[in-house]
Structure 1
Amino acid sequence: MKFSESWLREWVNPEVSTETLLEQLTMAGLEVDSVEPAAPAFENVVIGEIMEVEPHPDADRLRITRVEAGESELLTIVTNVADIAVGEKIAVAKVGCVLPDGMKIKRAKLRGVESFGMFCSMGTLGLLEESDALERFSADTVPGINIRDLLGLDDQVIEVDLTPNRGDCLSLSGVAREVGVINKSGVKAVEFDLAAVGSDKTFPVVVEDSNGCPRYLGRVVDGVNPAAETPLWMQERLRRGGLRSLGPLVDITNYVMLEMGQPMHAFDLSRLSGGVVVRSARSGETMTLLDGKEIKLNEDTLLIADDNGPLALAGIMGGEQSGVADETTDIFLECAFFAPLAIAGKARSYGLHTDSSHRFERGVDSQLQQRAMERATQLIVDIAGGVAGAVQEVVDSAALPQTETIILRKDRLQRTLGLTLSTDEVTETLTGLGLAVELQEGGWKVASPSWRFDLSIEADLIEEVGRIYGYDRLPSTHPELSAEIRKNPESKIALRNIRETLVDHGYHEVITYSFVDPEMQKVLDPEVEALALANPISNDLSVMRTTLWPGLLQSLGFNAKRQQSQVRLFETGLSFVPSEDGLRQKRKIAGLIYGESSPEQWGTSGEAVDFFDMKGDLSPLLDPLDSAEHPLRFVAAEHPVLHPGKSARVMVGDRAIGWMGAIHPGVAVRLSLSKGIFLFEFDLDSLQEGSIPGFEQLSKFPMIRRDIALLVDQDLSAQSLMDTVVESVSRDLLSELRLFDLYQGDNLAAGQKSLAIGIFLQHREKTLTDEDVEEVVGLVVERLKLVHGAKLRD
């Protein structure tokens, strides 16, 4: 929002400097983004009245003028302006003036005639971007007056950067209200006379979508002077508000928008047919906008239309076919309240962003339309003439925003802000912001105004009081903290330790979005329907992740494209799984490895990573979970994302805590990823459940080892074989179990493999004899034969 300081001070003029005013706005939440002079630096430019004009005797294209410029004598100025005439009042740069482009006006002689100045256009003075035409000032302008004084150019243009909830300050009246309540100064709203209704001419209005447009006003103004020009004072205010002058009818609607915050639109009545209809777009409809862009309309777009089709995108931009032109004499003036949800996102969907959509998306005062219509009509009649017809209004009161009633408790206000304010001070603040305040026991009953869409709960009112009082004035207090020491159970493994362990093994931690591409999510977790976002920031970030793998694989792709041959990544975060009870959020840790198992060097052959590289990296995290009561096991199982035969479900006792394995080749192809990627994902809470280390008495008796080589089916997992051994031997005897050999090849029957297991036996209270050991080994072999069909290898 841009505006000039002088215009603001016409509404509210506290006795504070510009610097203080800017600081007040910023501290009140209206952050000042920039401040710049309203005009470039120049002096000695005055208004001159042309008293005489005669042709130059030696140059056909030059004119000699005598100009009244407030001097004791008329100034002689030679000019090449062909249409200059006696009686016109034009800006004159006198001798000694330095123009914004650096040109210094000097006494000059043109074809033998001395010239003592130069006529200046608004473009020459830096007041308009492109304008070589001379501005003719009104007849009542006093010759010799400094143009800086006449136009108030010693002014500042202030631009404030507003948060989306403060749409009420997208107008000069809104900013003035804030300045007034901060400084406890009266705000003088603009006063104007209502334009007389002198015509019975109307144009039919029908609103089909009252939820999108609860209030619509229309009025015919006929007999407008097409040759009328926008007054210079209005052009200047529009310029300082960041808007170009486009003719009086458009300028007036823009002026009312800056002044009151109400976007408006003027249609050329001669181009309309039948009547105005506010409706949704129909399938296949197109329209050409004012900027010449042709668009295909979406069916959820709110339109202003007539019998011939669309006239304008409601609340966004008018159409080329119905806009006012240089020859327009009769207009249909529109002023409406469009619901924010009906406009939100629509302009962006067409690649547009307009001043109108910016305001309607954030919320326009739903009670402002009648006053804005009258203000615009009065300006049109005063500037361009014409006769106004009666205002037609179509309103659905039930669809208009309803006033929020909020209870503000005095003790809650004091506790939150940390200071005590008097009842009168709080009442004055809320009343100054336009809220209806009613005192009651222990606080206030407050009704929010129609222009504040962001006030709905008690905390909003506390924020308003603190904001106007001044955040910088709120007392600073030290919080009271108890000396209670936080529990740090020894059995719980800290997340910091888990992270450090992975980092020590060469992993890099990444942080990715919790919302992911729906297509990738479906591939990586096809059995779960992910939660779709109601308002995603983009189509490829539109669902909540149910696994951490999407973000990790995208990060891998990013690194692989940048020639990283060794990638180890991990992430901790939440997964979001819809269920009958609502959305279940689970803490997860996941990671991947890809590329070479070790950096390139002369001592290794540069082998690619495999399942056992990842298993070795994770052993320091998983081993603390292993116990006699709940042994850690890797169980061969199938997962839709992992390669069969190269994946495992990780179990602690009978409880599954996660997965690890190679990515399925089909998944890699669908996601355009390389093969040879190994993934893991665990339930983080389970991974942090360790056990308290305990001391075991060392046996003073010798340990005995027996090795057995077994022939088993090649599909039998070594884990199940070793589980059977553990079940077959007393825990008092079995000290360690070690798989030390796997053989598949010659001298073995088809479909068989050989596994060699080392059994370590030790008794706590005696030395084991050969007979004791042979008895245990015999029981183990019999058990393995019975359960798995295993045979001792010769």
Structure 2
Amino acid sequence: MKFSEQWLREWVQPEVSTEELAHQVTMAGLEVDGIEAVAGEFSGVVVGEVVKCEQHPDADKLSLCQVSDGTDIFQVVCGAANVREGLKIPFAKIGAVLPGNFKIKKAKLRGVESLGMLCAEAELGMAESSDGLMELAADAPVGEDFRQYMNLDDSIIEVDLTPNRADCLSMAGLAREVGVLNKAAVTNPVVEPVAPVIDDKASIDVQASAACPRYLGRIVKGVNLTAATPLWMVEKLRRGGIRSIDPVVDVTNFVLLELGQPMHAFDLAKIDGGIRVRMAEQGEKLTLLDGQEVELKDDTLLIADHSKPLAIAGIMGGEHSGVSETTQDLLLEAAFFSPLSIAGRARHYGLHTDSSHRFERGVDYNLAAKAMERASGLLVNICGGQVGPIVEVVSEQNLPDIAHIHLRRKRIELVLGIALADDEVEDILTRLGMVLTSVEDGWQVTAPGYRFDIAIEPDLIEELARIYGYENLPVSLPKAASPLARVPENRLAIGDLRRHLVARGYQEAITYSFVEPQLQKTMDPDHTPIALLNPISSDMSVMRTDLLAGLVQAVSYNLKRQQSRVRLFETGLRFVPQGDRLEQIPTLAFAATGTRLSQSWGDADAEIDFFDVKGDVESLLARTGQRDSYRFVTVKHPALHPGQSAAIEKCSENGQWQAVGIMGALHPSLQKPLGIRQPLYLVQLDLNTVRETAIPGFAELSKFPEMRRDLALVVAKDVAVDDVLEQICSHAGKYLTKFNLFDVYEGKGIDPDRKSLALGLTWQHPSRTLTDQEVNDSVDAVLSQLEQTLGATLRG
């Protein structure tokens, strides 16, 4: 929210500078994003009046003007399209200095002398761009210093409010905060009730009272929309980031900025029968004030008449019923809408308005009547007209409950580390608008209607802390019994796994738990993700059922920014629907693409392949001390390359193999849509499983020699090496200590449908030397089993 410092100081007069004020507000939890001047630095500019305007003798697009500064007449050449006789404008005289140190000098334009310059807002640093000269009010005093006339020695302060502080989305709320911080009096504008002079009443039927517990309407007849909005209001709106449109819209916007109550004005002649506040019917259509036609959903609250929708409640009015230059009679509305009935609706229709911003966060449910009287008085003063009585429809049982909170002295001291005096506590909370009643151990506090964030005792203590000043609270170390947590030996710390991957060249990534629906469906078609009711955006609208979707996007992002070698990993939850419940599964995933090694003088161009990433997985599994309990099994997955994908399985205590992960290369058909032009390898593992470790145990090292046999086996090409190794492990005897594959050969001398595997097997006895016969018997047992089960033969 933007606000004028000058306007704030009309409400409250803290004896602090602009910078000190911004620091105070920030330290109170209302972060100041920036401070900027209302206008650029300039001097020598006065209010001028064009007393005569003629065509330039030698230029079609230039005008020759006679401009008065109240004392003399000056000839000025001007190219603005809106210059005309009788217009009052900012006039920069000879010697004036405009923003950017631009000095006004006597000049000749197309042979005609020009003695000054007529100015637009942009030339004075009051706007980023301008369509023509800045037009001043007809009663602007000619000759007065323009800076003084416009009160431009002012600053615009922009505050970034957290969603819980909707009470500060108005000048009244900000002034209240500043008054409390400085213990200064706050002067609220006097809002006098406007007595009705006509009997016309608005017909109001609230059918959705739970969503709209309070609705007020008032008829104002005979308004003059040709009246000009007063300069003071136009400037306050401009400095609050709102442009002037017409006096009716300006008044409702002014009340929005001043009090925080959104309002709307309908053209009474366009309303059929009266107002009905109801839920929309699915498929109803409404053309909004911005010109777009929307198809309404049945969860949208509407302001309608007896035949058609008029506005999306709390968000935007309809074009048909909006105020126009032909409007003579108005229906003013002010309401309280339940925050839950408005939240997310604007975003669904691609909208974000000042009204929806406030109603979503919560507006004081007691404010509507005051805002109605304030707007009525301003309208009558500016546009004339006759007002009727206010019609109010209220559902008391649907209004928010008033929070009654028990605040204890001892609790304040315990939480803040300091005992605040009773009068200080009472002063702070009373200035914040709360009602206090003393009880034996503290106070019974009633929160005001505009503080939706005050519900429990800690909320009040937080208010005391921020107003008292966080920097004024004592610094002390907490005292608590904190025994060391037990670290189970059979469970790896997540930090160990992270450090292991970092040591292998990966970097940790943290991606959103929300992903794009189509991408999630592609990466994990077996699960239907949970859709968010109120998503941040359309490409973050479902909960992830795996971590790969987010990592793939992160890799793509890096590749598009000239990072050709990417290694990322992530630990986090994936959200998998299981019937009527949602299972949150801790998961580890990583992704790798690019060259095997970083750029160097050696083998720098070799690309990473499936087996490089498989090696990373195996090294991670080896950390568990249970590498032999895992195996890799060929599997098909729609998101992975059909020839380069594998399921990672673990053998359970009962001998059953269970899938605990998957790995493989991203499917080629997905690379182009994701902007990835090189192979990308992905891994996903169940985190809890890979954290399970074997408990370390001591085994005495054998002092006796090892005996090794190398075997060259010929098997069919489709035989998996893992199947061969599993048979060897099962039938080589208990003294087999090591076995490994060191060569695979296909080609000359081998049947084209078969391959040769070279394996090394090592035996060692813990307490004696093995005999050749014992080892030979083990080898024979292995060869016999391999021949029977896999058709393996020794290579000749």
TM-score by length of 1: 0.81
Partner Cα distance (1:626, 1:661) in 2: 21
2:706 corresponds, among 703, 710, 713, to 703
* Change in CA separation of 1:481 and 1:449 when aligned onto 2, cut-off 3 Å: closer
Query: 1:630-672 deviations in whole A, cap 9, x for unaligned?
Result: 8334253535355478524342564647335434858758977
Q: Which residue of 1 aligns with 2:460?
A: 461
Q: Confirm or deny: 8 A CA contact 1:657 1:687 kept in the other structure.
A: no
Alignment of 1:131-210 (within 5 A): 131=133, 133=135, 135-137=137-139, 152-210=151-209
Instruction: Name stretches of at least 5 consecutive residues in structure 1 with no aligned partner.
Output: 70-74, 107-114
Q: Does 2:554 match 1:546?
A: no
Give the match's secondary structure for 1:252.
helix
* Change in CA separation of 1:546 and 1:39 when aligned onto 2, cut-off 3 Å: closer
Give the match's secondary structure for 2:327.
coil
Which shows bigger deviation, 665-674 or 172-181?
665-674
Give the match's secondary structure for 1:185.
coil
Alignment of 1:165-564 (within 5 A): 165-282=164-281, 285-307=284-306, 309-479=308-478, 493=492, 495-558=494-557
Partner Cα distance (2:624, 2:120) in 1: 84
Q: Confirm or deny: 8 A CA contact 1:45 1:91 kept in the other structure.
A: no
1:687 corresponds, among 685, 690, 701, to 690
Q: Which residue of 2 aligns with 1:632?
A: 629
Q: Which residue of 1 aligns with 2:12?
A: 12
TM-score by length of 2: 0.81
Partner Cα distance (1:117, 1:789) in 2: 102
Deviation at 1:373, TM superposition (A): 0.9
* Change in CA separation of 1:158 and 1:722 when aligned onto 2, cut-off 3 Å: closer
Deviation at 1:324, TM superposition (A): 2.9
* Change in CA separation of 1:92 and 1:599 when aligned onto 2, cut-off 3 Å: closer
| Aligned-partner residue type, residue 736 of structure 2 | L
| Aligned-partner residue type, residue 735 of structure 1 | T
Give the match's secondary structure for 2:211.
coil
Q: Which residue of 2 aligns with 1:28?
A: 28
Q: Confirm or deny: 8 A CA contact 2:509 2:568 kept in the other structure.
A: yes
Deviation at 1:433, TM superposition (A): 0.9
Deviation at 1:259, TM superposition (A): 1.7
* Change in CA separation of 1:487 and 1:747 when aligned onto 2, cut-off 3 Å: same
Which shows bigger deviation, 578-587 or 211-220?
578-587
Partner Cα distance (2:739, 2:49) in 1: 111
Deviation at 1:581, TM superposition (A): 8.9
Query: 1:569-588 deviations in whole A, cap 9, x for unaligned?
Result: 43333333344695443333
Q: Confirm or deny: 8 A CA contact 1:213 1:338 kept in the other structure.
A: yes
Query: 1:734-765 deviations in whole A, cap 9, x for unaligned?
Result: 33334456667888899876656544333344
| Aligned-partner residue type, residue 323 of structure 2 | V
Alignment of 1:562-573 (within 5 A): 568-573=567-572
Q: Confirm or deny: 8 A CA contact 1:48 1:92 kept in the other structure.
A: yes
Q: Which residue of 2 aligns with 1:3?
A: 3
Partner Cα distance (1:765, 1:505) in 2: 38
Which shows bigger deviation, 641-650 or 165-174?
641-650
Q: Which residue of 1 aligns with 2:79?
A: none
Alignment of 1:725-744 (within 5 A): 725-728=728-731, 730-731=733-734, 733-739=735-741
Aligned residue pairs, count? 770
Alignment of 1:571-720 (within 5 A): 571-579=570-578, 582-594=581-593, 609-626=608-625, 631-636=628-633, 638=635, 640-641=637-638, 643=642, 647-651=646-650, 654=653, 656=658, 658-663=660-665, 677-691=680-694, 696-707=699-710, 717-720=720-723
Q: Confirm or deny: 8 A CA contact 1:271 1:321 kept in the other structure.
A: yes
Q: Confirm or deny: 8 A CA contact 2:89 2:133 kept in the other structure.
A: no
Which shows bigger deviation, 116-125 or 218-227?
116-125
Partner Cα distance (2:522, 2:365) in 1: 47
Query: 1:501-541 deviations in whole A, cap 9, x for unaligned?
Result: 44454445443333223333333333333333332222232
Partner Cα distance (2:569, 2:347) in 1: 36
Q: Confirm or deny: 8 A CA contact 2:666 2:681 kept in the other structure.
A: no
Query: 1:355-395 deviations in whole A, cap 9, x for unaligned?
Result: 32332232221111111111111222233322211112222
Query: 1:26-75 deviations in whole A, cap 9, x for unaligned?
Result: 2222333344455566678889999xx9999xx9x9999999x7xxxxx4
Partner Cα distance (2:35, 2:18) in 1: 10
Partner Cα distance (1:219, 1:531) in 2: 45
Q: Confirm or deny: 8 A CA contact 2:746 2:754 kept in the other structure.
A: yes
Partner Cα distance (1:66, 1:261) in 2: 42
Partner Cα distance (1:320, 1:427) in 2: 49
Partner Cα distance (1:149, 1:707) in 2: 99
Deviation at 1:287, TM superposition (A): 4.2
| Aligned-partner residue type, residue 628 of structure 2 | P
| Aligned-partner residue type, residue 683 of structure 1 | D
Give the match's secondary structure for 1:631.
helix
Which shows bigger deviation, 14-23 or 378-387?
14-23
* Change in CA separation of 1:425 and 1:738 when aligned onto 2, cut-off 3 Å: same
Q: Confirm or deny: 8 A CA contact 1:587 1:683 kept in the other structure.
A: yes
| Aligned-partner residue type, residue 638 of structure 1 | V
Partner Cα distance (2:74, 2:602) in 1: 91
Deviation at 1:286, TM superposition (A): 4.3
Identity of counterpart residues, as a percentage?
Answer: 46
Q: Which residue of 2 aligns with 1:112?
A: none
Partner Cα distance (1:126, 1:600) in 2: 51
Q: Confirm or deny: 8 A CA contact 2:344 2:534 kept in the other structure.
A: no
| Aligned-partner residue type, residue 221 of structure 1 | V
* Change in CA separation of 1:434 and 1:687 when aligned onto 2, cut-off 3 Å: same
Which shows bigger deviation, 554-563 or 180-189?
554-563
* Change in CA separation of 1:649 and 1:394 when aligned onto 2, cut-off 3 Å: same
Query: 1:404-432 deviations in whole A, cap 9, x for unaligned?
Result: 23333333322222221122322221121
Q: Confirm or deny: 8 A CA contact 2:289 2:322 kept in the other structure.
A: yes
Partner Cα distance (2:184, 2:604) in 1: 81
Partner Cα distance (1:724, 1:39) in 2: 84
| Aligned-partner residue type, residue 139 of structure 2 | F
* Change in CA separation of 1:756 and 1:148 when aligned onto 2, cut-off 3 Å: closer
Q: Confirm or deny: 8 A CA contact 1:631 1:653 kept in the other structure.
A: no
* Change in CA separation of 1:79 and 1:489 when aligned onto 2, cut-off 3 Å: same
Give the match's secondary structure for 1:198.
coil
Partner Cα distance (2:749, 2:37) in 1: 95
Q: Confirm or deny: 8 A CA contact 1:195 1:377 kept in the other structure.
A: yes
Deviation at 1:465, TM superposition (A): 1.1
Query: 1:1-46 deviations in whole A, cap 9, x for unaligned?
Result: 3333343333222444444333322222233334445556667888
Partner Cα distance (2:458, 2:226) in 1: 54
Q: Which residue of 2 aligns with 1:109?
A: none
* Change in CA separation of 1:578 and 1:441 when aligned onto 2, cut-off 3 Å: farther
Partner Cα distance (1:5, 1:670) in 2: 53
2:770 corresponds, among 738, 745, 768, to 768
Give the match's secondary structure for 1:589.
strand
- Superposition RMSD in Å: 4.8
| Aligned-partner residue type, residue 7 of structure 1 | W
Which shows bigger deviation, 329-338 or 278-287?
278-287
Give the match's secondary structure for 2:685.
strand
| Aligned-partner residue type, residue 529 of structure 2 | A
* Change in CA separation of 1:592 and 1:315 when aligned onto 2, cut-off 3 Å: closer
